[in-house]
Amino acid sequence: INDVLDFARLESGRLEFEVREIVLADVLADTVAVVEPAGAAKGLRLDLRPLPAGPDGGPLRVWADGEKLQQVLSNLLSNAVKFTS
C-alpha cells in the first residue's frame, strides 16, 4: 500500500524526501536481510561484499533518503530473485 501511495505522490509531484547522511552498508545489509529468505526459498544466495571505506577511512556514507533507497533496492533485488531460475 505504501508503494502505491508513494507512486501516487510521485505522480502528483508531492513526494517528499528526507535526505540525510547514511551509512550505505547499513541500508544494503538491511535490504539483503529482507530479500534473502525469498532467494533462499528458490535456492539462490545473495552475497553482500564489503564496500570500500569512505574518504575519512570510516564507513562509506552517502546523502540519500534511506527509506526510499531501501525501497528501490528491495524492489530491484526482489525482481532479480523473482525472475532468476
DSSP 5-57: HHHHHHHHT------EEEEHHHHHHHHHHHHHHHHHHTT-----PPPPP-TTS
> Is pLDDT at 59 greater than 70 in this prediction?
yes
- In the structure grid, which three cell numbers stand for residue 39, read together? 532467494
> What's the pLDDT at 15?
72
**Angstrom distance (rounded) from CA 39 to CA 13:** 34
In angstroms, the CA 40 to CA 66 distance is 25
Q: Is the pLDDT of residue 28 over 90?
A: yes
The tens digit of pLDDT for each residue in 60-74 reads 999 999 999 999 999
